[in-house]
A = this chain, B = another copy of it.
Amino acid sequence: MALTIGEIATQIGAQAVGDISLQPVRPRQPDEAGADDLALAMESAFAAQLADSSVRMAVLSDGADWQALGLKAAILVARPRYAMAGISRLFDTRTAGAGIHPSASIDPTAELGPDVSVGPMAVIGARAKIGAGSNIQAQVFVGDDAVIGADALLMPGCRIGTGVRIGDRFIGQMNAVIGGDGFSFVTARPSAVEDYMAAGTISASMKPDRHERINSLGSVLLGDDVEVGASSVIDKGTVSDTRIGNGVKVDAQVMIGHNVQIDDTTLLCAQVGIAGSSQIGKRVVLGGQVGVADHVTIGDDAIALGMSGVTSRVPDRTVVIGYPAVKQETFIKMYKAMRRLPMMAEKLNMLHKRVTNPDDKS
């Protein structure tokens, strides 16, 4: 890495000031940065730490007085986190692909585009297609008939099931599973759940003691620029495909059930679970551990705060919270009232006494 302050600023669309020929070794937090590092001090509280340090180079927010901080050079940015994306791209240390490892097992009918690398112990199935420039790392599995676009990055232990189709620039993190079989069973006679859904109660009649499996005939279809985090699971559709749109980003340990449809640019935080056949709109954000029941629709630009349980339709641009999830303002009213509830109970008892025993002044 031998970029100058000037080159970094240019590449991230920011302004460089001072000795722009200096070459930082790597970006660091202000409290860990030394004379050769690029201190990331966009927050003014962090910037203050630089004054007494050996730091010579920093990224600061627009308008910061870099000279007063004793710096030799600085990069001034308008939108700090956006600048971070650019800087992290320039200094990324990701392992590059290194050709086809001799231990990999690649079916002779698989088609690999130009510049595809395949790591040790990786397995690529029959008729699978992998796009140009893709980096298939160690111990990855790509099933028969799977199709992966250009410039994919599949990290160690990532599994792509049979027939899964994925767009360009996909990132599958370690042990992510795309294309598990859906969880879909049926009994010959009505089960306890069917009893309950029909009558609101569970009859004492003997229930069926055997589940028949509904195999997943569909697959999974992912758009371009999708990322799926470590140990996340996306199940195949029952008849049609489970579909994830362009630019959807999925954190670690997320579970997406069969037949789910997720529209473009949506974010799913860690440990989210989406049950079968639900439909999630564009640019939705589901916070950590959110659960979405089956056959639920969530509108565009909606947000479900962490741990919410979404059991019914969420309109566009609505923020929901709680279980069952309700609009945030409704939740806050309920919650405030609940916090006051012990006091309300006392007040009610007192009133009750006054009204029913008006002469008792104790």
Question: Which of B26, B319, B345 sits near A340, CB closer than 8 Å?
Answer: B345
**Residues of chain B lying within 8 A (CB to CB) of residue A269:** 183, 275
Across the two chains, which residue of chain B brings its CB closest to A26? Answer: B217
Decide if A360 is an interface residue (CB 8 Å cutoff). Answer: no
Least distance between A197 CB and chain B CB atoms (Å): 10
**Residues of chain B lying within 8 A (CB to CB) of residue A16:** none
**Residues of chain B lying within 8 A (CB to CB) of residue A210:** 225, 247, 265
Interface string of A168-210 (1 = CB under 8 A from B): 0001011101011101011110011100100001111001111
Across the two chains, which residue of chain B brings its CB closest to A183? Answer: B251
Known: A204-B317, A209-B283, A337-B345. A85 touches B180 (CB 8 A): no
Decide if A347 is an interface residue (CB 8 Å cutoff). Answer: yes
Decide if A257 is an interface residue (CB 8 Å cutoff). Answer: yes
Interface segment, one of A50-58, A68-76, A118-126: A118-126
Q: Complex Cα distance A157/B203, Å? A: 41
**Residues of chain B lying within 8 A (CB to CB) of residue A339:** 334
Q: Are A180 and B229 in contact (CB under 8 A)?
A: yes
Q: Are B174 and A283 in contact (CB under 8 A)?
A: no
Q: Are A202 and B301 in contact (CB under 8 A)?
A: yes
Q: Are A307 and B291 in contact (CB under 8 A)?
A: yes
Known: A249-B185, A271-B273. A92 touches B338 (CB 8 A): no
Contacts of A75-92 to chain B: CB distance below 8 A: 79, 81-82, 84-86, 88-89, 91-92
Q: Are B239 and A27 in contact (CB under 8 A)?
A: yes
Q: Are A303 and B193 in contact (CB under 8 A)?
A: yes
Decide if A45 is an interface residue (CB 8 Å cutoff). Answer: no
Across the two chains, which residue of chain B brings its CB closest to A209? Answer: B265
Q: Are A183 and B233 in contact (CB under 8 A)?
A: no
Q: Complex Cα distance A119/B86, Å? A: 40
Contacts of A335-349 to chain B: CB distance below 8 A: 335-342, 344-345, 347-348
Least distance between A272 CB and chain B CB atoms (Å): 9
Q: Are B252 and A233 in contact (CB under 8 A)?
A: yes
Decide if A151 is an interface residue (CB 8 Å cutoff). Answer: no
Q: Are B230 and A27 in contact (CB under 8 A)?
A: no
Decide if A362 is an interface residue (CB 8 Å cutoff). Answer: no
Q: Are A105 and B121 in contact (CB under 8 A)?
A: yes
Decide if A215 is an interface residue (CB 8 Å cutoff). Answer: yes
Known: A93-B162, A270-B183, A323-B307. A253 touches B252 (CB 8 A): no
Q: Are A273 and B289 in contact (CB under 8 A)?
A: yes
Q: Are A306 and B193 in contact (CB under 8 A)?
A: no
Q: Are B252 and A255 in contact (CB under 8 A)?
A: yes
Q: Are B240 and A84 in contact (CB under 8 A)?
A: no
Decide if A352 is an interface residue (CB 8 Å cutoff). Answer: yes
Decide if A34 is an interface residue (CB 8 Å cutoff). Answer: no
Q: Are A85 and B186 in contact (CB under 8 A)?
A: yes
Interface string of A87-126 (1 = CB under 8 A from B): 0110111110000010101000000000000011101010
Q: Are B285 and A270 in contact (CB under 8 A)?
A: no
